[in-house]
Amino acid sequence: MSEPHLNTANARRTEPRVVIIGAGISGILLGVKLRERGWLNFTILEKAGTLGGTWRDNRYPGVACDVPAHLYVYSFAPNPAWRSRYAKGPDIWKYYHGVARRHGVLPHIQYGKEVVGAEFDGAGWRVETSDGSIHEADIVIAASGRLHHPVMPDIPGVDSFAGPKFHTSRWDASVKLAGKRLGLIGTGSTATQAVAALADQVAQLKLFQRTPQWVFPVQDTPVPWWKRVAYRLSPAYARKYYQTLQAQTEARGRAATGDRDARAARDQQCVDALATVRDPALRAKLTPNYEVGCKRLVMSGTFYQAVQKPSVDVVTDGIDHIEPKGVVTKDGRLHELDVLVFATGFDAHAYLRPMRLVGEGGVTLDEVWRDLPLTYRSIAIPNMPNFFLINGPYSPGGSASVVGIVEVQVDYVLKLMEHIVRDKVLLVPREGASLAWLEDARERARNSVWGTGGCQSWYLDKTGTPSIDPSTLSELKAQLAQPRLEDFVERPLPVDVETKAA
């Protein structure tokens, strides 16, 4: 009786029980990579009714990615069918859904399963979802992303507005905008896309701007049919283009982290783009008083054209309150509106919260993160054995496509998992190693444009330090080429668990 029991336990340890939180770009990628390794005993818990993360939630008019389409893909799954340089939101969702389907990931996803907590029991994890179900796992990987908790502004009277109102990530497609007076609060990437898409559709568009943004000019040029055919018939040609885009993006990223020539070239392009605004008064409204790149750079070749149209009014007076008829600014003026939209971004510092995470010895995530979100290289948390993050706190950003970043992080996590499974161990990062890495990343970030550029942005943590690793993608690849196991505490899996499990 004992021998078959031991064999079953060993089989389970060879193929670990894995729970992945989130079915966005990172969660899908993890599913693909686990299946490649023959590890099929995994479940992806997704809180929504379908996969896609950002590209499921954001359906506002004009939604698109500001990374070139041929770069915003998994390196192993090029898409030769993109019809323009920058892909639209629905097409991006279709691409990632297609990858999940082709690689057999879809059957592993459970929808409507919002994770509310996870607790380590000494050998593994018990993951609880909002419907009360419990999922046991040897390894948990949080791939929940950063930009999925929408922020609504704390404006007096916001609930009193009589017309339709919603956040851009909760777009109400049933609201007809033709001929309406639309108010749009916010001027980040989302707002600039929406303005360009809606300026000709509405009777009037009031853009309530708190802080002007630097806009880097890009052209969403069509991809000729012959290039699409060439990309499809010649993978080498497509790969070369992918590498070219990667190099261009990294060069632009270096402008934020110290390359003076790259910074000068980028800054001049932004200044030249702003100069296309003909009205001096409007141009003054749109001129930032901080360095280019200090905030997340807006990429658009159409915003400055759209904002100069007669239907668009840029309002820079601060908002005093909202009342049933519209928005009242601090100068006492009532801006009457039919529809009010909030392009006010997301809580980029929530990370795993409001999930309750309890690690070894009953230590909670809130305790570990009391001062700052302490991690080891953005992918592991002290006191949380066999628990990993993708695109966690202080991940690189602003200098590479997030897809490339998560591919590097996923490969690193998989190497750690191979060690866990092979040696039947619990792996947890040392607090000292985590603190040393965090302080190094924060120090480098302080010296980047995000730390010296003189602006407030969602990049900054509560201390005013950029919560971003300024490493470029090539630097990140070198840093995460091989795990430093000496930075982890390694403990054998309890014997009683190994013999009785399964």
Tell me how far apart the terminal alpha carbons of the chain are, to the nearest angstrom.
14
**Residue 17's pLDDT is what?**
97
Q: Identify the DSSP state of 342.
A: E
Question: What is the pTM (predicted TM-score) of this model?
Answer: 0.92
Reading the block at residue 318, the tokens are 């601060």
Per-residue confidence (pLDDT) for residue 346, from 0 to 100: 81
The whole-angstrom separation of Cα 248 and Cα 471 is 15
Residue pLDDT, tens place only, 148-168: 788 899 999 999 999 999 999
Q: Please count the other Cβ atoms lying within 10 Å of the Cβ belonging to residue 182.
A: 25
- Per-residue pLDDT, averaged over 375-388, amounts to 98
Q: Please report, as a single letter, which amino acid is at residue 79.
A: N
- Each residue's pLDDT tens digit, 209-264: 999 999 999 999 999 999 999 999 999 999 999 999 998 888 877 777 767 888 88
C-alpha distances in Å from residue 41, one per residue of 18, 38, 108, 131, 414: 6, 9, 9, 22, 15
pLDDT over 60 at 172, yes or no = yes
Could you read off the pLDDT of 321-369 as tens digits, one per residue?
999 999 999 999 999 999 999 999 887 677 888 899 999 999 999 999 9
pLDDT tens for 291-328 read 898 888 899 999 999 999 999 999 999 999 999 999 99
Domains of the chain: 2-149+348-500 (3.50.50.60), 158-214+257-342 (3.50.50.60)
Left, alpha or beta for 332 (phi > 0: left; psi -120 to 50: alpha)?
left
Q: Are 396 and 476 in contact (CB under 8 A)?
A: yes
pLDDT > 90 fraction of the chain, expressed in percent and rounded: 78
Q: Which residue has the higher pLDDT, 445 or 69?
A: 69
**What does the pLDDT read at residue 13?**
47
Residue 416 phi/psi, 5-degree rounding, is: -65, -40
Mind listing the pLDDT tens digit for each residue in 451-481? 777 777 777 888 888 888 989 899 999 999 9
Q: What is the pLDDT of residue 14?
A: 65
**pLDDT of 500 strictly over 80:** no
